[in-house]
Amino acid sequence: MNITKLLAQLQQEEGLRLKPYKDSLGFLTIGYGRNLETNGITEVEAVDMLQHDVIFVVNELPKVIPMFLAIDEVRQRVLTDMAFNMGVQTLLTFKRMIHNVQIKNFNAAADEMESSTWYKQVGTRAAKLATMMRTGRDL
What burial letters (b/e) apply to 55-76, b meaning 16+ CB within 10 Å? eebbebbeeebeebeebeeebb
Residue 39 to residue 86: CA distance in whole angstroms: 27
3-state secondary structure of 75: helix
| Mean pLDDT to the nearest integer, 41-64 | 97
Closest CA to 27 of 39, 18, 40, 36: 36
Distance (Å, whole) CA 51 – CA 67: 23
Output the average pLDDT for the chain. 96
CATH fit for domain 65-135, picks 2.60.40.1220, 3.30.420.40, 3.50.50.60, 1.10.530.40: 1.10.530.40
**pLDDT tens per residue across span 71-130:** 999 999 999 999 999 999 999 999 999 999 999 999 999 999 999 999 999 999 999 999
Facing residues of 38 across strands? none
Average pLDDT over residues 29-58: 96
Average of per-residue pLDDT across 11-23: 96
Question: In the structure, what pLDDT confidence band is assigned to residue 66 with cuts at 50, 70 and 90?
Answer: confident
In order, the DSSP letters of 4-65 are: HHHHHHHHHHH--EEEEEE-TTS-EEEETTEETTTT---HHHHHHHHHHHHHHHHHHHHHHS
pLDDT number for residue 31 = 96
Where residue 31 falls (left for φ over 0; alpha for ψ -120 to 50; beta otherwise) is left
Q: Where are the domains of the chain?
A: 65-135
Question: What pLDDT does 49 receive?
Answer: 96
15 and 32 in contact (C-beta within 8 Å)?
A: yes
With beta carbons less than 8 A apart as the criterion, state whether 88 and 60 touch. yes
